[in-house]
Amino acid sequence: MRLRRKPWIDEAIREYDSHIILSGQEAYKGKWREAFSHLERPLYMELGTGKGRFIAGMSEAYPDANFVGFEVQIGVIYYAAQKIFEAQRDNAKVSLFDIAGIEEIVAPGEVDRFYINFCDPWPKAKHAKRRLTYHTFLDRYARLLKDNGEVHFKTDNEDLFMFSLEEFKNCGWELKNVTYDLHSTDLPNVKTEYEEKFSAKGQPIFRLEAVKPTVTKEA
């Protein structure tokens, strides 16, 4: 869902320049760790930050990792940048970017983990290739992950989850910690804004972790 553009955000977002990358992401390819003061930390990327509750919470819960979150809507990423700026998180940044082009700005083997939370399910079959767990996306993630790197995926959409399970399996990913009701488990979890809203209504949350296959497909 796209939000109505708020013209004031274009200027106001500059207040958070220390925590947001609005352009020139290509220059970071292979160098994302250099955006942080502790280069030795693992690099985790969230694909679609929304308003930033997840990346803000994760960067606080895991201070020994560096986090980069990508979001395509400036009217949404503004709030994510605001959260990590006000929390003074030195291990988190967000970037305005369409992740369909992620291989243009991230180098092979650069990332330790990807997080995908409550992405658009694109329910029509003709739109399946737009799903962030479609096999062509999974192949991209595999190329960008380090050996034994992981994708952590959460959704409230059962059809998307079942589709995603099959895509991961068919692409040779090792699945672990698969759950059809996350909040009934003791798995560590930082909720997104969306997750909080719908789980409060009794909606089960589906989650999986997938380990990069040993053999990856070339681009």
Identify the three-state secondary structure at position 216. coil
Query: Is residue 76 a contact partner of residue 3, using CB atoms and an 8 Å limit?
Result: yes
In the block, which residue shows the tokens 């988190």?
A: 92
Largest CA distance in the chain: 47
Catalytic residues: 120
Closest to 101 (Cα-Cα) out of 137, 60, 126, 75: 137
- Output DSSP code: residue 156: S
Query: How many other CB atoms sit within 10 Å of the CB of residue 188?
Result: 8
Query: Is residue 70 a contact partner of residue 95, using CB atoms and an 8 Å limit?
Result: yes
Query: Residue 116: enclosing H or E segment and its boundaries?
Result: strand 111-117
